Amino acid sequence: MKRTFALVCMLASGLTLSAAAQTQAAPAATPAAPAGPAKIAVIAFQLAVAQTNEGQRDFGDIQRKYAPKEAALKTLSDEIDTLTKQLQTAGSTMPPAEQASKAKAIDDKKKQLDRDSQDARDAFQQDLGDMYNTLASKVYDVLSSYAEKQGFTLVLDISQQQTPVLFSANGTNITKQVIDAYNVKSGVPAPPAQPAAAPGSQSAPRPATPRPAAPKPSGTH
């Protein structure tokens, strides 16, 4: 049974941020746009938040925070696998009482793994949601300022698969510009490049990049 914490985190990240984004307040009303042709831009807001230097740094901090728990859960999962194989291999030669004792030990460890995984998932969800909500509000402020300076009258979020936007010219996508503007404002340096994995090696599993529902950050202008 290979139920490591990383796999739990993969399932947790999208669910957490989707729920967290829905709790945010709707943007405040903005001044009426001047008369004239609308100037529209699009942005993958989720991607913008996740790919800021600050977002990458904070997400890495969360991963490192839960690395010991991930290792502990993997150890427990491997122990369950070992005991299960032992019981399957030698079970027929064991006295019934010993078989029952080992089966109970395996069942107890499985229940412990389930409890510990759920606790870790809940804590991971909370930390990830708190991190995203805080950062999303700050990125939104930069987005709002950038859009006003560039004269955009409408900015559409294309993060969701079900976005109503069917087409947008490359020049209307301001995702990178907002990321760059936020990095300059935050002053957080780019994270160091990760060393390339050696051929044939397997890297440790990591939680997926957050893919929340379209956020509506509070504290807008």
Q: What is the DSSP string of 79-138?
A: HHHHHHHHHHHHGGGS-HHHHHHHHHHHHHHHHHHHHHHHHHHHHHHHHHHHHHHHHHHH
147 class by beta-carbon count within 10 Å (0-12 exposed, 13-18 middle, 19+ buried): buried
**CA-CA distance, 56 to 50, in Å (whole number)?**
6
Domain ranges of the chain: 5-23+36-186
pLDDT in single tens digits along all 221 residues of the chain:
444 444 444 434 443 444 334 334 344 445 555 556 789 999 999 999 999 999 999 999 999 999 999 999 999 999 999 999 988 888 678 888 888 898 999 999 999 999 999 999 999 999 999 999 999 999 999 999 999 999 999 999 999 888 888 888 888 999 999 999 999 999 999 998 876 655 544 443 343 333 333 344 544 44
pLDDT at 27: 47
pLDDT at 78: 97
pLDDT at 35: 58
